[in-house]
């Protein structure tokens, strides 16, 4: 600023940016009326024409109880404001990151007390006050607490980074799987003061991993059983052949040939079932709309004369893609063995966290001593594989099935779906 010009009576307002003049004049009026100067941030023009950010503090010049002018202090805050703007921008970026990432960011002190948790905790029913100042372990599934605390202790002592998997119970008691990555928090002197961590929800991934593991176990077991059964049947065939070769009686030979024919059909059924069973667990589990599956199933029985009753809200179930075959098997089984059956009702049974699909008919029902047996391999009047396959498909994602009807009044199959494996369809899920 040209000091000589100011001394020669140039109006100081010439150096103030036009956009700041009104605010500066208002501030001077307040000070002239006796108010204390709060400091006005204005843009001043330097001699080289560049702008300088400044805070101007003013005070009145009073003579004979009258304000005859103002005196002031001008402080250059250009660099300070740049730093403040940079800090503000950094904070906005950090806030955008923490609020928009799907992961939960958190920090704890050396005792494992939560000192920060990002807004994503609301997805699991928690408010900030629910977690701040609480021990981290109280939100962990009781079965995983020991491992989590052990990893935390080693991390704090050894400055090691750990990737842990454990379960956390949400506000409604539903189990969610998380993967945690964390690192040590240090103060400016390098002293450990806690940890920074990231929690990633891997519930869906864990469901897939568990389903694949179960499917592989079931397929391996089925291969062993089928191989054993086929070998035994072939042994029977060979025995009948030896006996047929050694007998001279036509009737005996004809009977043995019939036995060989039947044993061969048994082997054929084993191989056919193996082809169907190998589809179980081949494709990843997925969310499937119950109403859609029911509609598709009923279309297969439009000429059966059976009256179908169905009453469902928009619900999805997480299961093997062969879930449609489960629905088909249950309806087909009811029609095959229901005898006097005229109606099949399909409806939900919902409690606070549990959900069941009910398939109920008015046929003859299932005898008490057969309620468990009908789900075993080979039990039944046809191939003996339908309900066994049904139970195996459901078990891939931890779903169970049982028969709970009254013999003489009808069969009632209840498919029980654990929490986390069913949901009401929302717009988010629909997308």
Q: What is the pLDDT of residue 177?
A: 93
Tell the CATH topology of 285-431: Heat Shock Protein 90 (3.30.565)
355-361 and 315-319 beta bridge pairing: unpaired
pLDDT in tens, the chain (431 residues): 444 444 555 677 777 777 788 888 888 888 888 888 777 888 887 777 778 888 888 888 888 888 888 888 888 888 887 887 777 777 777 666 666 788 998 988 888 899 988 888 888 999 888 999 999 888 888 889 888 888 777 776 766 667 788 999 888 888 899 999 888 888 888 888 888 888 999 988 888 888 888 777 777 766 766 776 788 888 889 999 999 888 888 889 899 999 899 888 878 877 776 776 666 666 778 899 999 999 989 988 888 889 999 887 889 999 888 888 889 889 988 988 888 899 999 999 887 667 899 999 999 999 999 999 888 876 655 544 678 888 888 988 889 999 999 999 999 999 999 888 898 887 655 55
Residue-level pLDDT at 5: 47
Q: What is the DSSP string of 42-69?
A: EEEE-TTS-EEEEEEEEEEEEETTEEEE
Six token digits for residue 31: 């000070």
Closest CA to 57 of 45, 70, 69, 74: 74
231's enclosing H/E stretch is: helix 203-246
The residue whose two tokens read 């075993």 is: 376
**Which strands make up the sheet holding 66-76, listed edge to edge?**
40-45, 51-63, 66-76
CATH number of 3-82: 3.30.450.20
CB 85 within 8 A of CB 40: no
Cα–Cα distance between 195 and 184 in angstroms, integer? 4
- Report the alpha-carbon distance of residue 172 to residue 403 in Å, rounded: 30
Q: Are 203 and 176 in contact (CB under 8 A)?
A: yes
Query: 399: helix, coil or strand?
Result: coil
| Closest C-alpha to 210, from 415, 421, 427 | 421
**pLDDT at residue 379, as a whole number:** 67
- Describe the chain by its helix, strand, coil percentages, rounded to 5: 45, 25, 30
Residue with tokens 């029985």: 301
Q: Helices 203-246 and 386-395 sit at what angle, rounded to 10 degrees?
A: 150
Tokens of 83: 């730093």
b/e 265-277 (16+ beta carbons within 10 angstroms → b): ebeebbeebbeeb
DSSP string, 340-367: S--EEEEEEEE-SS-EEEEEEESS----
The structure tokens listed for 263 are 């044993």
DSSP sequence for 295-328 = HHHHHTTTTS-PEEEE---SEEEEE-TTHHHHHH
Residue found under tokens 């599934």:
141
Question: Quick one: fold of 101-201?
Answer: Beta-Lactamase (3.30.450)
pTM confidence score = 0.56
Q: What is the pLDDT of residue 179?
A: 92
Nearest in space to 287 (alpha carbons), one of 401, 178, 208, 391 = 208
Structural contact between residues 307 and 272, judged by C-beta atoms closer than 8 angstroms: no
Identify any residues that bridge with 69 across adjacent strands, giving them in sequence order: 61
- Considering Cα of 374, then 376, then 377, then 379, what sign does the dihedral take? negative
CA distance 21 to 15: 10
Structure tokens at 241: 């052949």
Could you give the CA distance from residue 376 to residue 385 in angstroms, rounded to a whole number? 8
């Amino acid at each position: 600023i040209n000091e000589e010009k100011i001394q020669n009576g140039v109006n100081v307002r010439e150096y103030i940016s036009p956009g700041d003049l009104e605010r500066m004049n208002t501030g001077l009026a307040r000070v002239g009326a006796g108010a204390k100067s709060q400091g006005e941030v204005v843009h001043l023009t330097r001699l080289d024409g560049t702008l300088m950010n400044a805070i101007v503090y003013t005070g009145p010049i009073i003579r004979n109880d009258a304000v005859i002018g103002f005196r002031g202090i001008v402080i250059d805050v250009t660099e300070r404001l740049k730093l403040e703007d940079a800090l503000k921008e950094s904070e906005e970026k950090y806030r955008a990151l923490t609020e928009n990432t799907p992961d939960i960011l958190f920090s704890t002190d050396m005792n494992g007390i939560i000192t920060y948790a990002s807004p994503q905790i609301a997805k699991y029913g928690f408010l900030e006050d629910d977690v701040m100042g609480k021990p981290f372990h109280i939100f962990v599934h009781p079965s995983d607490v020991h491992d989590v605390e052990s990893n935390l202790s080693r991390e704090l002592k050894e400055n090691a980074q750990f990737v842990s998997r454990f379960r956390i119970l949400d506000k409604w008691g539903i189990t969610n799987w998380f993967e945690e990555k964390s690192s040590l928090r240090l103060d400016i002197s390098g002293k450990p003061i806690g940890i920074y961590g990231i929690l990633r929800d891997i519930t869906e991934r864990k469901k897939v991993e568990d389903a694949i593991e179960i499917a592989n176990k079931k397929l391996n077991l089925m291969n062993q059983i089928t191989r054993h059964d086929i070998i035994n049947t072939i042994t029977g065939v060979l025995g009948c052949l030896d006996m047929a070769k050694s007998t001279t009686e036509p009737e005996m030979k004809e009977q043995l040939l019939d036995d060989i024919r039947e044993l061969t059909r048994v082997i054929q059924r084993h191989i056919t079932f193996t082809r169907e069973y190998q589809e179980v667990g081949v494709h990843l589990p997925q969310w499937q709309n119950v109403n859609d599956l029911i509609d598709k199933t009923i279309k297969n029985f439009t000429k059966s004369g059976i009256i179908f009753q169905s009453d469902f809200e928009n619900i999805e179930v997480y299961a093997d893609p062969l879930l449609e075959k489960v629905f088909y098997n249950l309806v087909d089984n009811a029609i095959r063995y229901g005898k006097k059956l005229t109606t099949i009702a399909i409806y939900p049974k919902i409690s606070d966290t549990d959900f069941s699909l009910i398939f109920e008919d008015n046929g003859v029902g299932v005898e008490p001593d057969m309620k468990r047996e009908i789900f075993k391999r080979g039990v039944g009047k046809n191939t003996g594989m339908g309900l066994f396959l049904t139970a195996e498909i459901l078990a891939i994602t931890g779903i169970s099935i049982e028969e709970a009807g009254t013999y003489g009044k009808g069969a009632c199959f209840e498919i029980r779906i654990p929490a986390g494996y069913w949901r009401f369809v929302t717009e988010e899920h629909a997308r």
